[in-house]
Each structure stands twice: as C-alpha cells, then as structure tokens.
Amino acid sequence: MPCHDIAVVTLDNPPLNSLDHALRVRIVSALTAAQADPAIRAIVLTGSERAFSAGADVTEFGTPRQFAEPILRSVLEQVRHSSKPVVAAIDGVALGGGLELALACHGRVATRRAKVGLPEVTLGLIPGSGGTQRLPRLAGIDVALGLMLGGTQKTASEFVDTSLFDRVVEGHLLDAACACAAELADAGAPWPHADRIHLDPGYVSTKVSLARQRLNARQRLQPAYAALLDAVAASAGPMDEGLALERSLFLGLIGSTEARALRHQFKAERESARLPDALQVAPRPVSTVAVIGAGTMGTGIAICALDAGLDVILVEQDDAALSRGRHRVADHYAARVSAGKLDEHAAVAVQARLLPTIDWQAIGRADLVIEAVFEELSVKQDVFRRLDAVARPGAVLATNTSYLDIDTIAAVTSRPQDVLGLHFFSPANVMKLLEVIRSRDTAADVLATGMALGRTLRKSPVLCGNAFGFIGNRVYNAYRRQCEFMLEDGAWPEDVDRALTAFGVAMGPFAVADLSGLDIAWRMRLAQAATRDPRERHVPVLAQLCEQGRMGQKSGAGYYRYTDGQRAPSTDETVRGLIEQASAARGLQRHALKADEIVRRALLAMVNEAACLHADGVSSRPGDIDVVLVQGYGFPRWQGGPVFWAREQDRKQLLAELRELVAAGGRGMRLADEAALALLLD
C-alpha cells in the first residue's frame, strides 16, 4: 500500500542497529524533518530484518558518549510528544533500549517472529528509558515481570493476548505499519499511548511483593533485581514520577561493581570466543561428529551436538555399554517431551540423526571425533591409535581429557597436527564452557575448527595451553586446596561453604566435592603422592574420608552426612574429629575464621594461580580466565571473575597478601611475582 504521506524512518546501524550516539542523532533529525513537513501526517520507525534495534551500544557504557545529547530518553520524549503519530514496525530483535523506543511510540506492529526483551538485569542494570513503566502498562504486570526478571526474549506472537502490539503480521510489515499509522492520523489526537493506561495499584503491589519473595538467593545478592522491582512498583502511579524513579535507580546502578563486573564478563566472553589474530584461519567444515564413549560425558556431548543440528555417530566398546548410552540419550529427549519443552516429532527427528554403533569403521564418515572414554592414558592412547587407522584424512581428532597430556595422546597418531583437546563440563549438554586445548603440534585450522564447533554448540569456547588442569581445573584446584587449608586453620566445611555461597558461588567447595564424588580427587592425589615433596602442606582429611568409604553424596557421607537419601547436608562429628586431628598434627592452634577472611583467602588463591598460569602462557587473555571460572565453575557472574576482582584491589596490598598466603601454604606453593601479577592485571 502507498505510504506517500507517511514518513518511513529506517534505523540503519548494522549489524543490530545499536542505539549509539550517531544513530540517536540521525533519528532525532529524521523525526524533526518529518514533523516539520506539511505533506507528512504520520511516521513509521523501522529497522532491518535482523533488528529493529538490539538496544544500547554496550561499548558506550561508562564513556561520555553514553550521556551525550540526545540521550535515548530525549529521543523517546520527542516520539512521545510528537505532533504526528509514530508507529514502530518491528522485525528481528527489539531489545533493551530498542524495545523502549518502540514502547514510547503510539502504535506497534511486529512480525510474528520478531523477538522482544528487556534483558538489562543481566548487565546489572534496569531499563533506564521507560521500560519498567511502559511494559507493565502495555503487556500486563505478570508478563512484564517475567520478561524483565528473566532477562529473556520472547517472540511477538506470544503477546497477542496483550496490548503490546496493535498488529502481529506474517509478512508485509511496512504495509501493515503504514496502515496503522494512517488510521491513527485519521482518528486525530490524542493518540493512544502507554502513558494513558492506568494500572490497579493494589494488583501491582501484590504482584511485585510476590516477585520479591520469589527472588532466588543469587538474585538477592544482585542489587539490580530489587531496583527493578522498586521501579515496576511505581508503574501503578503517575508516569512522570515512575520515569524519574526509574532513572535515578538506573543511574545508581550503572557505576556499581556488579554492573561493571557483568559488562566485563560480557566483553570477555565475546573476546574469548575469538582466536587471537595470529591464529585466525578458516575452520574445517563439520557436519558429522563421532563421539567415542557413551558414558556421562559422551552422551551429554552427543545430545548437545544433536541439538545443534549435527549428525552424531556414538561409538562404544560393547553392546551393553552402547545400550546404556543409547537409553540415556532417549531418556533425555523423553524427559524434554514430557516436560513440554520439545514436541514428539521434533524429538524423533533429532534422534534420527544419531547413529549408535560398536563398528569403528563408521567413524570414517566423521569430520570431527571427540573421545570421552575413561581417564586413563593407556586407554586413551589405544583409542587414538585406532582412530588414526579409521578416521578419514583431515578429520579433527579431539580428546575430552580433564588432566592428561595431549601431546602424549597425539604422539601415538601419525597426524598430531589434527589432534586437540575439547574439554567439556558436566552436564555437557548444559554447561556453557568449552576449553579448547592447543597441543604442541595442533594446526591453526584445527584450533579454529574447535572454536567454531564451540560456537555451533552455543558454548563459550576458550583457548587454553596444554598444561596440567588447563585453565579451569588448575585455578579450581588451587582454590579447593586453600579451602582445605582453612579447615586445618580452624574453619568447618559449613563455615567455608556458607561464606562462599554468601559471596555468590553456586555451591561451596565441600558441597561440590560431595556432589561430584571425593574419589576422583583421591585417586589423583594417590597418583601424585609418589612425586609429592613430603614437606608440602597437604591436608589428609579427604583421603581419610575416602578410606572410610565416605565418597560424598553417592555413599551417603563425605564432608557432610546425607541421611535417608536426602541431598541436604548435615554436620558430621566424624569429619570434625578428623579435621581437629589434622590441625593438631600440624601443630596449629585452631581459630574461627570470619566469612570475609574465608572469601578473601579463596579469591587470593585463585588470583595467585591465575597469574602463574597466565605467565606460563596457558591463557591467551586474562579475561579468558574469568570466562572459564564463571561459565564452568559457578563463580558469580556479577563478581566478574578472579581477574576482575583482583583489578579492584590495591596492588601493593594484594601483593603483600599473596606473599603471606603462599608463605602459609608452605613448600611447593608457587608465588605469582610482581611481573606475573602485572601481566594479569594491567
């Protein structure tokens, strides 16, 4: 339909129309021109197929450009008070400030597939340009709270029962938007606007209180959630008062440690998913993946490859093990179907791409092979010898080893350049982290293939050097050892776990140990015992617990006791006795440790190890270490990671505390010197 008397203003800032200063200036001037043109009676604001607008330009945050006029609020005021009706025509995404711009318009038309969201809480913020006031008015308080607290995106078709969109269309978006604009112009002022909708104060207050009670422990530790609810509560009052409150809450959050930490993570995740420039080459194409070993990890990896649309060959050593693996995959999809998360046809179609087999010749079709068999060097070497014989030339061969040396595994093949580590985390179909490990001979395009696979699987791939524990397990082991030292010094497991969960870790280290089983660490420590310096500080409690058959939750007891099959831990006097004996054997006078001392020591241990491994070249960028800890080890995202935390500390004091920590750690604990710390933190 002709739009001759309707001005179509197209946001044009690829790829996602982020509302940076230059775009804001262009919108204002286009609106001003359209408002002044007597031949124009209405305005349509639109974007591209990919994005109406993905919102603020995060790189502007904290710079003067963010607050340079016209700020987004001024653009929105111009829309709100326009002398001609303004209609948003939305395709692709409308997120954050992008959605707020649409909310300030007099009408909204969207394609069914368009996606909207106000994900500011995921950056430690709240919407700062009217989102908390207008979304509840237009979409209803329940929908608005769900969308904002979840930080999620929803498609426009899910809002048909609300007043958010005037029309949701299959195609011809601009025609529909122009028709909507023409109708508004015909009807004459005053045009409909969110500001004229009034919500029931009692209902809003009830819903906000309920949402406040339902915040989980980790949300309660982040100020943005409470601020968001305060702002939404004001949506039942006058618009200008609500907008003023929202703005002041937003400004209070923008410089907060949490918001800066979340921006740091956001940036670090983007960077870590890219190889350093020197290694940038085209990846090898991958459409079929073979997974060797259908145990815990192998089946998780197979599921996540299937979900990403790849063909998967799942290989086991015998029929019984294969059948167990096949059932595990089938049970997973059945559970998703019965939870309503996947329809039955889709589940059948996904599993049709899975080929479970014990025939190794099938591996010849794979572009990439991931080995996930037992953590034993000889077993893995044997698997790689066999892979060398059956994999096609150019196929990428990966091991999911947690600790073994990848050079030694690659050395048994005739093609070490095609071998790398792909270290998934458990559950592999859920955890976002993927450590991509470069061994001595790994070719650049093989690394690029590993990183590209990580992105295909929707993971955060991080490049690591081939060193014991790579990045994550190395830092985590240092942290865990430090927590064991604290037991000897005077803390109980529950003191340590409580202090660290109050800091924000998903689970305390002793609860994690009980959940994953103490035997894994015990076996490793037994293997290391032969080469360990006897003067090294070594806490015997874990080994003693294992000797008593206390392997953690699975055996009903570990650092805690789990009675009647319960997962909830309770304190155990036997453990306390062992800890007291360990303190006495080391000649330590036990003393209570305060929560902040516990947290600080745990963080210092991580920072010390992070600086050592970065100096050794195991990580290529300091931010990569933070991504690993947050994505793979439950480090609170809003605390940024150990590197972010260390950068917030006074450097001199940090060095002094690290020296003290390492001295107390005794022989064998390496100190990150000033140069290593500078490399990590500057």
Q: Which span sits near ligand NAD by CB under 6 A: 17-25, 119-127, 421-429, 662-670?
A: 421-429
Q: Minimum distance from CB of 328 to ligand NAD (Å)? A: 10
524 binds ligand NAD (CB under 6 A): no
- Asked whether the beta carbons of 294 and 355 are under 8 A apart, the reply is no
Q: Which residues of 179-203 are buried (b: 16+ CB within 10 A; e: fewer)?
A: bbbbebbeeeeebbbbbeeebeeee
What is the rounded CA–CA span in Å between residue 244 and residue 176?
34
What Rg, from alpha-carbon coordinates, does the chain have? 28
Q: Minimum distance from CB of 514 to ligand NAD (Å)? A: 14
Nearer to ligand NAD, 402 or 639 (CB): 402
The yes-or-no answer on residue 100 being catalytic is: yes
Q: Minimum distance from CB of 298 to ligand NAD (Å)? A: 6
Residues between 627 and 666 that touch ligand NAD (CB under 6 A): none
One of 60, 69, 100, 246 is an active-site residue; which one? 100
Q: Minimum distance from CB of 555 to ligand NAD (Å)? A: 17
512 binds ligand NAD (CB under 6 A): no
What is the rounded CA–CA span in Å between residue 316 and residue 302?
13
Q: Minimum distance from CB of 214 to ligand NAD (Å)? A: 31
Q: Which span sits near ligand NAD by CB under 6 A: 233-241, 311-319, 503-511, 578-586?
A: 311-319
Residue 383 burial class via C-beta count within 10 angstroms: exposed 0-12, middle 13-18, buried 19 and up: buried
The yes-or-no answer on residue 660 being catalytic is: no
C-alpha to C-alpha distances, 189 to 106, 288, 484, 509, nearest whole angstrom: 11, 60, 71, 63
How many residues touch ligand NAD under the rule CB under 6 A: the total is 23
129 binds ligand NAD (CB under 6 A): no
Residue of 199, 383, 518, 551 that binds ligand NAD (CB under 6 A): 383
Instruction: Return the C-alpha torsion angle 419, 423, 426, 428, nearest 10.
Output: -60
209 binds ligand NAD (CB under 6 A): no
401 binds ligand NAD (CB under 6 A): yes
How many beta carbons lie within 10 A of that of residue 448, not counting itself? 18
One of 120, 246, 435, 609 is an active-site residue; which one? 120
What is the rounded CA–CA span in Å between residue 247 and residue 533?
59
Nearer to ligand NAD, 44 or 292 (CB): 292
What is the rounded CA–CA span in Å between residue 459 and residue 440?
24
127 binds ligand NAD (CB under 6 A): no
What is the rounded CA–CA span in Å between residue 517 and residue 530?
23
Q: Which residues contact 4 (CB under 8 A, 6 or more apart)?
A: none
Q: Which helix (H) or strand (E) holds 369?
A: strand 368-371
Residue of 280, 426, 571, 574 that binds ligand NAD (CB under 6 A): 426
The residue behind tokens 């109050």 is 502
434 binds ligand NAD (CB under 6 A): no
Which stretches of 140-194 are DSSP H helices?
A: 141-150, 173-187
515 binds ligand NAD (CB under 6 A): no
Residues between 316 and 375 that touch ligand NAD (CB under 6 A): 316-317, 321, 372-375
296 binds ligand NAD (CB under 6 A): yes
Residues that bind ligand NAD (CB under 6 A): 292-298, 315-317, 321, 372-375, 379, 383, 400-402, 424-426
Name the residues annotated as catalytic: 100, 120
